[in-house]
Structure 1
Amino acid sequence: MLKLFQNILVPFDLSSQSTRAFKVALDIAKKYGSKITTLTCLEGDSWHHKYYDSRADAELIKKQNKASKKYIEQLESLARKNSVSMKSNIIKSKSVVNDIVIFAKSRKHDLIVMGSHGRTGFDKMLLGSVANGVSQKTKCPVLIVK
């Protein structure tokens, strides 16, 4: 029997949208007996300029890592309560979209469930959309949760 969605990837950025996406992934995982992997991409100061200080960047990454681990512990607890296997990964990223796509492909994830901030207009044009970028660049299905 073919099992759909054996490995679900949930990109997690500590937002309420990514928490909601995780809960949707948890429901899918319970139904299909899937495993969940969370991926948190830490970005340093993306506004580099000629006076860029790498020590400040390292400190920012350290703070993000600590905050991420605290949130992920809560997700792991939720997964355990629902008898769903979960792994978590935290990486330093230069391109969140590319890193999510490469991670999903290299680990053979067959579904990505991710939150969307729902930005529109100028905000979307200025900031881009991670969910949109991932959905366009990956080969596996992407469920975007708003």
Structure 2
Amino acid sequence: MLFRNILVPTDLSAPSTRAFKVALDLATKYNSKITLLTCVEGDAWHHKFYDARADDELVKKQSKAAKQYLEKMESLAEKNNISVKSYILRSKSVVKDIVVFARSRKHDMIVMGTHGRTGLDKVILGSTANGVAQKTPCPILLVK
């Protein structure tokens, strides 16, 4: 199986950066394209009850940080002669949006970082990587 179109969802964390570097190695080996995807969310817990403008401001700040991060990753890919595209999605369900994005763009593989949370942290914070792994039809490589 060849991996021509690799999706790398990122949350701008160290595990996401490590996953991107693994994806670069795979892309070099298989002559693949990489798509970087990050999802930004407003604060679903309390801002919506007060003022939606605060939510919009939070999304703007997240988008700005994401754009800077993605530009660094794009530069690294270009130095390695790997074709890369980046997308920033406003999301209400990160797992669902990653899975739908991967299906709609016919990605052959997903490479994503995982924080490796267990116990109460996993219950409270959830696991995006686990959710994507359970719902996506393509192979997925989780990187710690």
Q: What range is the shorter-chain TM-score in?
A: over 0.9
1:47/1:110 CA distance change after superposition, 3 Å: same
SS state of the match for residue 144, structure 1?
strand
Verify: 1:123 aligned to 2:121, yes or no. yes
Shift of 1:46: 1.9
Deviations 1:43-72 (A, max 9, x none): 100213773311110000000011111111
Identity of aligned residues (%): 72
| Farther off after superposition, 40-49 or 19-28 | 40-49
SS state of the match for residue 51, structure 1?
helix
SS state of the match for residue 46, structure 1?
coil
Shift of 1:126: 1.1
Verify: 1:41 aligned to 2:39, yes or no. yes
CA RMSD of aligned residues (A): 1.1
Structure 2: gaps of 5 or more residues: none
| 1:17-96 mapped onto 2 (5 Å cutoff) | 17-48=15-46, 51-96=49-94
User: Matched residues in 2 for 1:115 and 1:41: separation?
Assistant: 14
Q: Which residue of 1 aligns with 2:11?
A: 13
Verify: 1:101 aligned to 2:104, yes or no. no
Deviations 1:100-121 (A, max 9, x none): 0000000000100000011110
1:98/1:29 CA distance change after superposition, 3 Å: same
Shift of 1:89: 0.2
Say how many residue pairs are matched.
144
Structure 1: gaps of 5 or more residues: none
User: Which runs of at least 4 in structure 1 moved beyond 6 Å after TM superposition?
Assistant: none
Which residue type is aligned with residue 13 of structure 2? Answer: S
Q: TM-score, normalised by structure 2?
A: 0.97
Q: Which residue of 2 aligns with 1:135?
A: 133
